[in-house]
Amino acid sequence: MKRHKKIVNLIPLQARRFKITYIFFLLLIFGLFGRLVNLQVFSSSDLQKKARLIQFTKTSSLKSRRSIVDRNNRLIAYDKTLYRLWAHPKYFHFPGDITNRSRSIEEVVSKLSPILKVKDQFLLSKFENKLLGIELLDGITENQAKKIQSLHISGLDLVKYSQRYYPQRNLFSNLIGFVNYENKGSAGLELHLDNQIKIINKGNLLKKGGDGTPLPDNSGPTDFISDYKSLGLTIDSRLQKASFKALSKHVIKWNAKKGFAIVMNVNNGEILSLASIPSYDPNKYWEYNSEIFKGWYSQDLFEPGSTFKPINLALALEEKVIQREGFVEDSGKVKVGGWTLSNWDKKGNGYIDYPKVLQVSSNVGMVKIMQNLPSKTYWDWLYKLGISKNLETDLFESTAGQLKSKDIFVSQSIEPAVASFGKGFSISPLKLAQLHAVLANGGVKVIPHVTLNFKEKLTDNFKEEIFSKEVSRIVLEWMESVVDKGSGVGAKIEGYRIGGKTGTSQKAIDGRYTSKKVCSFVATFPINNPKYVVLVVIDEPTKAYAYGSTVAVPVAKEIIESLIVIEKIPPQIEKNKLIVKKP
């Protein structure tokens, strides 16, 4: 059967419908173009930010600080990793719960309290009908944090942070200082050497695709390595503990205001121990008055008194105004510029040699000795010694000593007279220790320091010489006689050669001397091959018969005895036979 094709008559498109279709597609094209312009021009920056959030993950480490260790790598300060626990009750779920099930606050608390070792009621009191952002507890240990994480409870967040910890508590507090709640150095070395202690880590951007797949980036091989370096100190914790114990005992015994003891290597300026009383626990710094945080041994000044007499004798020997075998008349009193100066006991000692001047601590003898030295030359020497300058050190910002102007010192005869026995000018205890170290090592300037990486400004090829070796040797022999048969006899240790000088000076307040005292003793050890200077300063002992010989000498002796044991120092004298070691 033959099929016939159906013929369809075409009806022309109405002009109105054509216009509508045309306008529709035209608007669609303009809409797409407008959308493209909006994405490419007006919204590009926002879209880039959103893309970066998806494609990049920024990593940043904790704000941390380097550990501080002693010369034997014993920990003095370190960062302890802790956690803060945050809760969001709105999202509390246990593992395996159906999607719509929500756990109560009481159920979550019952699981947390045994781990945190707190009562349920304590944690419940933290919520106060809040549903988001509740800080439950801080100071959570890593072990506790792992146990909380193992619960897999939704709605709990642990935030890691670091906290500074000082395991030896008050033993190093006046030296190390502390960091505050914001992890910023606020006292001691933590403040003064903040730039060396804090760790600055750069943030890193990790690239990833839309599905989270990591992509190649420009990270360096060391970008994710933690900084494990520590700040090493010259301090020996064993000697520090012995010094602190001895100093504490005698500060309490004499009911004194404060005390300071230092042991320093005279050849390189390394400080082996630096104890200061009163002290504080840097782990609980907020419990103490801020006055106690001060490093007074480098920031407070005092008149050194008789402990400066060996330095003055060295000046006189250098200028050749006295000879080693000379004598001086000590009549007990001497008039200078209308003022009468006397010995501490108001008694005279007759004609005495220079070792005897130190043994009996003769003020009159020192005045007459130093009168041989022109006042101008004397002042120049004091200036050269750095009496009025800030001390170079890595400890703290030291206070410059006080020295009368050259015009006053030269024109008023009383000034060089009182300076001869350590009065009329003032220095810090640390500066006094430095000067005796110079005298002990043969006359070469050293810089007191506590960090192992400290580099002196003076190079090995050129070191400033203050005293000649011969002058230093003579004065040290005179100082040894003070311990053998003078005011420092209390520091004598059988078999060991020790030199020293006691000091007892009145404190001046508002320009007037008072009955308050500063008792001190400086020792050099061993005399035949000097290596250590030990300085003890005790401020304002209030009991009777307080002198350098009674207050400070016993402390120094205990410290030297500990030093002998720790450093394994053999005797220099055996059965009345002197053992001389080559320098």
Output the six-digit token pair for 461: 């090829």
Q: What DSSP line would sit under 478-509, residue for residue?
A: HHHHHHHHSTTGGG--TT---EEEEEEEEEEE
Output the six-digit token pair for 133: 């952002």
Q: Cα 471–403–555 angle (5° rounding)? A: 65
**Three state DSSP letters for 405-458:** CHHHHHHCCHHHHHHCCCCCCEECHHHHHHHHHHHHCCCECCCCECECCCCCCC
Instruction: Give how far Cα 156 sits from Cα of 102, 109, 131, 408, Å.
Output: 13, 11, 12, 74
| Residues annotated as part of the active site | 306
Instruction: Give how far Cα 407 sits from Cα of 316, 375, 418, 425, Å.
Output: 21, 10, 16, 15
Neighbours of 378 (CB within 10 A): 24
Is 361 in a helix, a strand, or coil? coil
- Alpha-carbon dihedral angle through residues 411, 413, 419, 424, given to the nearest 10 degrees: -70
Q: Are 290 and 296 in contact (CB under 8 A)?
A: no
* Cα 467 from chain centre: 31
Count of positions (residues) in the chain: 583
* Cα 70 from chain centre: 12
Output the six-digit token pair for 40: 């490419």
- How far is 209 from 335, CA to CA, in rounded Å? 93
> Which DSSP state fits 575?
T
Q: Rounded to the nearest 5°, which phi and psi values hold at 380? A: -60, -40
> Of 230, 226, 305, 236, which is closest to residue 265 (Cα–Cα)?
236
* Helix pair angle (309-318, 375-384), 10° resolution: 120
